[in-house]
Copies of this chain bind each other. A is one copy, B any other.
């Protein structure tokens, strides 16, 4: 089941990346690159940081073909995309949570400590979007958006705690995906935000 959710997640992320690229008037190569980085960049960064080779898409190149297909589909279907806005946000929320659970699982199975597994989950869930924003020359949205990264972080902490206290993996997985998804949807609906830190003094 997790691998189906993973496919849905990379599709949603690839399409969101393609639309970001379209807003910056990129050509087809740029669109496909940004889409792939958005969908696969978080997991790739996690694997590079943990020294966990080969990377997912290097072992399974079909994931890459999948994101390329989703990106091309997004450019074709762009004119109908705004009607799918809500479906899209839901898919993105599902992707965020699924990526997080997958990232935690991979780091845990590789024998890393719980703190590192939480970081791995959050990197997987959120850094595809950070890399997309860096390549599109923007301050990463993530660092200023409503409860997005925090949902990933909380999902990771709760998921790993459940596993730690002996909750069977399928229960922990489905519970955290549902819980994190609901939290993210509530955050969008009610515009919950993390307090911002505003600093004005010129130090450097």
Contacts and interface: CB of A to CB of B under 8 A. Distances in A.
A101 B152 CA distance: 36
Interface of A is mostly: helix
Contacts of A134: 134-135, 137
Contact of A30 (B55, B115, B142, B201): B142
Given A25-B144, A25-B196, A30-B144, 20 more contacts: A22-B198, A23-B200, A27-B145, A28-B194, A28-B196, A29-B153, A29-B194, A30-B142, A34-B143, A49-B55, A50-B53, A50-B54, A51-B51, A61-B116, A64-B115, A64-B119, A75-B199, A81-B201, A81-B203, A134-B135
Given A44-B49, A58-B50, A27 B201 contact: no
User: How many copies are assembled?
Assistant: 3
B140 A138 contact: no
Interface of A: 16, 18-31, 33-34, 44, 48-51, 53-55, 58, 61, 64-65, 75, 78, 81-82, 85, 88, 112-113, 115-116, 119, 130, 134-145, 149-150, 153, 193-201, 203-204
Contact of A82 (B23, B51, B201): B201
A44 B49 CA distance: 8
